[in-house]
Amino acid sequence: MTAQPSPPPPSARRDESAPRPRLVPPPTAGGDQDDRCPCRPLLDRLGDRWSALALAILEEGPEYHGELRRRMGEVSRKVLTQTLRALERDGLVSRTVVQGPVVRVRYALTPLGHTLAAPLVAIRDWTAHHQAAVDQARRAYDARPAEPGVTRLREEAAVARGWGAGA
């Protein structure tokens, strides 16, 4: 028997009588999809492999590049530097060069970066609450026979894309 996910807490339930918020504004004449969803570039940034983890660690306080890399695990120096530069460009992270016998670089969240803590925690909590249901849906989808002429995302494709096993 498969465990059913518990209902969301009352604070997370949507009032059905309230107008439904739109994630994507209605189309405008001559506009493309990116114009309709101005949050897309930032969501792309936050959805990459390392940005959310870097932000979560920096939420705890400033870190030097080497310590940040050690805490993040398998990220390469180059990729971490690229990630931090992109977050700095977006105004979420500040970079301070610390002079000494060895020049070190310290990163910290900016005030703007700190405002992302609550949304990231909400996503983490949503995932913790709903991961079993997502896993169950994936298993059910993968167990269905493939439709003729339809390519389906399977675990090996997810692993090949770096999304990890069970994705």
Q: What is the pLDDT of residues 73-122, one digit of tens each?
A: 999 999 999 999 999 999 999 999 999 999 999 999 999 999 998 898 89
Strand partners, 93: 109
Q: What is the pLDDT of residue 136?
A: 96
Residues 63/95, Cβ–Cβ less than 8 Å:
no
3-state SS class at 82: helix
State the residue for tokens 């439709």.
Answer: 147
- Whether 70 shows a pLDDT value over 80: the answer reads yes
Q: How far is CA 10 from CA 7, 20, 60, 122, 132, in A?
A: 9, 17, 29, 15, 20
Structural domains for the chain: 37-143 (1.10.10.10)
**Most distant CA pair in the chain, distance:** 65
